[in-house]
Amino acid sequence: MKQTKLVASIMAFFMALATVTSCTQTGENSTADSANPADTLPELKGDDGLNRAARFYAGVSREGVDMSSADAQEWEKYSKDMKKLTNISFKTLGQVDSLAKADFSDFRDSVDLVFYPFSAADFLYPITLFPNADTYLLCGLEKTGTPFSTDIKTNYDQYEAYHKALSTFLRISFFVTKNMKNDMDNELIDGTCPIITMLMATAGYDIISIENLQINDDGNLLPCDGKGTVMKYKFFRQGSKHEQTLYYVSADVANSRIDPRVKRYVEKSLPNHTVGTYLKAASYLMHMPGFSLFRDYIVDYSQYIVEDDSGVPYKYLTDKYDITLYGVYKRPLMVFSDSCIQPDLDKAYKAHAGEVKRLPFLIGYNSPSNWLCARRIQGK
């Protein structure tokens, strides 16, 4: 019973977190003629098999899954462990949502495409920051992976593998690069797909479809019989009629190694959208000359950027964006080189100390953490 209430509370939290009010102000004598436009949209239908599997492996629900008593007990233990982790993550995500509601209301709902390079399988943070975007474009080195089989089998080793793959992310907000090489590329997990779908289930979203795609020479997406380099997810928030799409692109985006097809795809995808870029725990890659291509895409095509100091260096933003600083800037962790230190960002934090906003949560590498919100200056 306690677990049932916990699941219900988790779902209620994310439903509230992602809900946006859309109503028409009318006088006291208004009639039923002023219906919410969303009421005229068709009901969305998720794939029962995919969602049942995602909820099962996420530890959310075993409804519709036949299990022996021993297997059920083992799943309950796994479910309890997963919920402990998700509760830690939801606490931070609740604070992220509150800050976004308070500070990003001028653009949060106008962003229709969320760009998230170096994302790995992180579905939770972009959907929390921008819950109503039509499209989410994620990119990472990790393989696309294989969707769950709808023929659900009890496998204790799988429980351990999924718990291990998500443990660090749910506790500290990011995936550790060196761990992902093993956690998302092994006999039980062959890429990001299982993890993304588990996070969708955990956050109260239903999956409509998952499709393998490939990028052709013109930068267009085409269906793929086998495992492509792009995975397309159609999904919706439970109780919503808004169909959303997530593309996960498996690619190396270093200047010297990027596939020209990926380059063309990104160049086609970002223009003509209101783009909100999110960057977190990005290993300071865009501080390096070898990643200038994607850094320039972000600076040139984004209307809004939310990032920690591991993202686009401050010096590349000051001419084109109005910048709001959050939290505390300190030297990057010693594992990163001195070249990642930003004297100009440090100077900005000190010069505008009275204007720097409080950051009530830990995010990314450092504790205390820092955040930056950049709004493009009109005409720049």
Q: Quick check: 274 and 113 in contact, CB under 8 A?
A: yes
Q: Is the pLDDT of residue 77 over 80?
A: yes
Q: Is the pLDDT of residue 285 over 60?
A: yes
Backbone angles phi, psi at 261, to 5 degrees: -65, -40
For residue 37, what pLDDT is reported? 64
Instruction: Tell me the pLDDT band of 153, cut-offs 50, 70 and 90.
Output: confident
- Reported as a single tens digit per residue, the pLDDT across 9-65 is 444 444 444 443 333 333 333 333 345 666 788 899 999 999 999 999 999 999 999
- Reported as a single tens digit per residue, the pLDDT across 213-253 is 999 999 999 999 878 999 999 999 999 999 999 999 999 99
Of the candidates 296, 306, 318, which has an alpha carbon nearest to the alpha carbon of residue 370?
A: 306
Q: What does the H/E/C string look like for 148-195?
A: CCCCCCCCHHHHHHHHHHHHHHHHHCCCCHHHHHHHCCCCCCCCCHHH
Q: Is the pLDDT of residue 146 over 80?
A: yes
In order of 51, 190, 323, 369, the CA distances from 331 in angstroms are: 43, 35, 20, 11
**How far apart are the C-alpha atoms of 300 and 7, rounded to whole Å?**
42
What percent of the chain clears pLDDT 90, i.e. is strictly above it? Answer: 85
Residue with tokens 């399988």: 121
Q: Quick check: 122 and 140 in contact, CB under 8 A?
A: no
- For residue 353 the two structure tokens come to 């100390």
- Reported as a single tens digit per residue, the pLDDT across 350-380 is 999 999 999 999 999 999 999 999 999 999 9
Backbone angles phi, psi at 143, to 5 degrees: -65, 160
CB atoms within 10 A of CB 68: 9
For residue 249, what pLDDT is reported? 98
Q: What does the H/E/C string look like for 188-222?
A: CCCCCHHHHHHHHHHCCEEEEEEEEEEECCCCCEE
- Reported as a single tens digit per residue, the pLDDT across 312-357 is 999 999 999 999 999 999 999 999 999 999 999 999 999 999 999 9
- For residue 224 the two structure tokens come to 């793929």
For residue 319, what pLDDT is reported? 97
Rounded to an integer, the average pLDDT of 252-278 is 97
**How far apart are the C-alpha atoms of 16 and 158, rounded to whole Å?**
31
Rounded to an integer, the average pLDDT of 107-118 is 97
Of the candidates 231, 149, 143, which has an alpha carbon nearest to the alpha carbon of residue 192?
A: 143
Q: What DSSP string runs through 279-304?
A: E-S-TTGGGSGGGHHHHHHHHHH-SE
In order of 96, 316, 334, 341, 349, the CA distances from 287 in angstroms are: 25, 10, 16, 9, 19
Q: Where are the domains of the chain?
A: 1-16+50-113+132-269, 278-380
For residue 225, what pLDDT is reported? 82
CA contacts within 13 A on the Cβ side of 342: 26
In order of 8, 168, 265, the CA distances from 139 in angstroms are: 32, 19, 12
User: Which strands sit side by side in the sheet containing 304-307, from one edge to the other?
Assistant: 221-223, 205-215, 230-237, 244-250, 135-140, 113-117, 275-279, 304-307, 370-376, 321-327
**How far apart are the C-alpha atoms of 301 and 298, rounded to whole Å?**
6
For residue 95, what pLDDT is reported? 97
Q: Quick check: 354 and 362 in contact, CB under 8 A?
A: no
The neighbouring-strand residues paired with 205 are 237
Mean pLDDT in the chain? 90
For residue 38, what pLDDT is reported? 67
Q: Is the pLDDT of residue 89 over 60?
A: yes
Residue with tokens 């000190």: 350
The four Cα atoms 268, 269, 270, 273 give a dihedral, to 10 degrees, of 110
Rounded to an integer, the average pLDDT of 67-79 is 95
The four Cα atoms 355, 357, 363, 368 give a dihedral, to 10 degrees, of 70
**How far apart are the C-alpha atoms of 313 and 284, rounded to whole Å?**
8
CB atoms within 10 A of CB 265: 23
